[in-house]
Structure 1
């Protein structure tokens, strides 16, 4: 009886029928190596599978940041894995966070036989720090069909980014992310390696950014968009006028539009 009640608590309905949610599935040994899996009803053989990554400056937050967005995307008929990952420390850097994401993707792939969705060829969506990781993962692992990045820090080795990091006290976190100390001039190849701007590959990329973002300047997405275009990568940039770092995801009307744009981009590239 207890298990039946728990099942009902994580079952909801959408315009596409019944959807099921399986929370806090462990894909690794760390308490943060967990994910929520959202599965719509029906035949899943051609349904897009989305890997969703939360934000939090690589050092805070968790699945609670993106649970509503994960459910909203699932309600459009998509399989969604809302993935948590470890925080950066003196011993955990970007390569470890990317390894977490890769392990989570493999875990989702392993579950495909049980639930009937695609075993590979997933789409990755991230917000803020999660958007940075989505871009970096998508461009370097080459096993995703599309990337969507909302308010993404994309070039951490630019003078403007470094100056901002110093002003906001985030330089220490980025040093942990890069796995090295940054000298007074900010000249460090490790920052270039973890900047998606410098790791671009031919993965269709949707960028969404608020032009009033006080945390990650809109120029980060504008410059990445220009670089993608120059390299012939299919891309689209959506600027949310007057929106800050949440890109309107905390406003019902704008969140609905963001979800619509995200799901349309994914469907367009789910081949």
Structure 2
């Protein structure tokens, strides 16, 4: 019995060097409404708090997609909430995923008193579908200090995105995300409404994209960057030469560089 207790204690409160790990904390009733919390030791009063969102085309994957990246960011001395969220379906759309993110952030804020980190003014980071959600949440809620988006689909109503989805047989994913059928002749208001490009607000935004990405074309980040610059919003675009949709996150040396760029951006905007 003693050994079983010690096993449970290790499973639910492990320590990676100077980072304490609290897995699968529930912020809602769904089995997918969970997050992993990484909390460094020491005085956390001015430590950045990062909300991390995984990818998976809004319809697959989970915390396992980003647990290494979460730990790498946490080991830089940051508090990190690696957030899972529900999959889209006929009744769950983008607005529900934004609700999930909001509920996760509320949970992280409520838990702050237990560990001594900031109660608000967090940073949000996302990869692929998670990058889309990070941008959309950040721009519409306007309560983030910074946004970082890796290989982000940012203009879902663009003809090239809809054509790619149609050719791959996954146009229904965009329809479920928007909660509306696609109009082949254009004027897809519901899709425009969930496109970060159409919801830009004054949040410092870092964009990282591979120029060999055959899932989300690099032009999605380039066009968003140009629009942010046009509107006078602080932004930075990093193009990873020869990298595909993983933006080099699965290559050790490139992942190290991505983590550095992400954490540098966050520190720059944590004042």
The TM-score by the shorter chain falls in which range?
over 0.9
Partner of 1:169, secondary structure, is: coil
Partner of 1:73, secondary structure, is: helix
C-alpha displacement at 1:268, in angstroms? 0.2
The answer to whether the 8 Å contact 1:165/1:171 transfers is: yes
- Kindly report the root-mean-square deviation, in angstroms, between the aligned alpha carbons of the 2 structures: 1.0
Aligned to 1:96: 96
Q: Distance in 2 between matches of 1:131 and 1:264?
A: 18
Aligned to 2:116: 116
| Mapping of residues 111-260 of structure 1, within 5 Å | 111-260=111-260
The answer to whether the 8 Å contact 1:162/1:186 transfers is: no
Q: Does 1:5 align with 2:7?
A: yes
Q: Distance in 1 between matches of 2:226 and 2:51?
A: 25
Partner of 2:22, secondary structure, is: strand
Q: CA offsets per residue over residues 150-178 of structure 1, 9 Å max, x none?
A: 00000011111111111112210100000
C-alpha displacement at 1:248, in angstroms? 0.4
Report the TM-score, using the length of structure 1 for normalisation: 0.97
C-alpha displacement at 1:13, in angstroms? 3.7
Q: Distance in 2 between matches of 1:261 and 1:245?
A: 17
Q: Distance in 1 between matches of 2:237 and 2:79?
A: 25
Report the TM-score, using the length of structure 2 for normalisation: 0.97
C-alpha displacement at 1:142, in angstroms? 0.8
Q: CA offsets per residue over residues 198-238 of structure 1, 9 Å max, x none?
A: 10000000000000001000000000000000000000000
**Where do 4+ consecutive residues of structure 1 move more than 2 Å?**
1-14
Relative distance call for 1:20 and 1:91 in structure 2 (3 A) is same
Q: Does 1:74 align with 2:77?
A: no
C-alpha displacement at 1:12, in angstroms? 3.3
Q: CA offsets per residue over residues 14-63 of structure 1, 9 Å max, x none?
A: 4xxx2111000000000000000000010001000000000000000001
Partner of 2:208, secondary structure, is: strand
Partner of 2:7, secondary structure, is: helix
Residue-pair matches, total: 268
Partner of 1:185, secondary structure, is: coil
Q: Which runs of 5+ in 2 are unaligned?
A: none
